[in-house]
Amino acid sequence: MLKRKDLLGLIDASKDEITEILDLAEEFKNRIKRGEKKMSYLDGKTVTVLFYENSTRTRTSFEQAAKYLGATTINIVAGNSSVAKGETLVDTGKTLDAQRNDFIVIRHPMGGAPYLLAKTVKAGVLNAGDGMNEHPTQALLDMLTMRETFGSLKGLKVAILGDIKHSRVAKSNLFGLKTMGAEVVMYAPETLIPKGIDQLGAKLCKSKKEALDGADVVMGLRIQLERQQAGAFPSLGEYAANYGVDEAALAYAKPKAIVLHPGPVNRGVELTSGVIDHERSHIEDQVLSGVAVRMAALKLLNDAR
């Protein structure tokens, strides 16, 4: 049983905890597919979604997840709140606590911000992406999509290509997938590989072919131009040619390999349109997995309160 107040990262999540979340998410995903969108597990609870960074998928899916579970949801966009008047994160948290919020879902450009908030508030805190650190529910939804396709995560070869350095998705996937017994290989320009990632268990590849060869999962990551001061590579065109995945590169992977991307995608940069819209692409299905995983996380954290 998940016994946590908060879900901040997968760095310390056990195999049992991940399995419990994925099992429940799978059940919720099937229930949503059958049209069941009104459940009462979080009746009378309040979930506040507090985003200091842009988002489409993550914000809407957390809100949907909370609503499907019967909670009341409140949406705070930092630019429209007292944050714009200079209020600190801790003071914002105290205000939300005083209003008896049960959960706060936070996205913040600074790594560690959700940890600071979690220490300060009584509400359960869910990290929806903190800077370049972690994005646990994204990795969980990626793992759910992989598990549904292959039955198990153990022994899968997952190739992650793209802007790994600035990616919280890559880090959460690395932690979660290693815990579940998968192999994680990475390929990107050296300027986009964070120092020490190999010591955390990633295998760094010297070529696109080496990364994709025999892969079960091909995961593209967005080039995060907003987190880059100067260019880490000469041009987007050169990046696409050398590090992007097109159909010819996809052919190195196993015949039944699937393509994932957390979105938003820079079409033609990380992945060509042919790969994004390929029959083996699960990019759209990942979105529903996202709602289901966030429902599972909210329900299990609520059960633990």
Interface with ligand NCD (CB under 6 A): 57-58, 129, 135, 138, 168-169, 222, 224, 262-263
Locus of tokens 């349109």: 273
- Supply the minimum distance, in Å, between the C-beta of residue 122 and ligand NCD: 27
Give backbone dihedrals phi and psi of 237, rounded to 5 degrees, phi first.
-60, -45
CA distances from 164 to 132, 134, 170, 232 (A): 9, 12, 6, 12
Nearest residue to 59 via CA among 108, 105, 121, 9: 105
Nearer CB in complex with ligand NCD: 57/178: 57
- Supply the minimum distance, in Å, between the C-beta of residue 100 and ligand NCD: 28
Nearer CB in complex with ligand NCD: 70/109: 109
CA distances from 251 to 64, 148, 213 (A): 36, 22, 9
- Supply the minimum distance, in Å, between the C-beta of residue 263 and ligand NCD: 5
Nearer CB in complex with ligand NCD: 46/132: 132
- Supply the minimum distance, in Å, between the C-beta of residue 234 and ligand NCD: 21
Apex 135 CA angle, 133 and 136, nearest 5: 120
In Å, the largest CA–CA distance within the chain is: 56
- Cis peptide preceding 264, ω within 30 of 0: yes
- Supply the minimum distance, in Å, between the C-beta of residue 293 and ligand NCD: 12
Nearer CB in complex with ligand NCD: 127/179: 127
Residue nearest to ligand NCD (CB): 222
Sign of CA dihedral 54, 217, 192, 204: positive
Nearer CB in complex with ligand NCD: 49/252: 49
Nearer CB in complex with ligand NCD: 239/252: 239
**Residue 26 near residue 293, CB atoms below 8 Å:** no
- Supply the minimum distance, in Å, between the C-beta of residue 288 and ligand NCD: 13
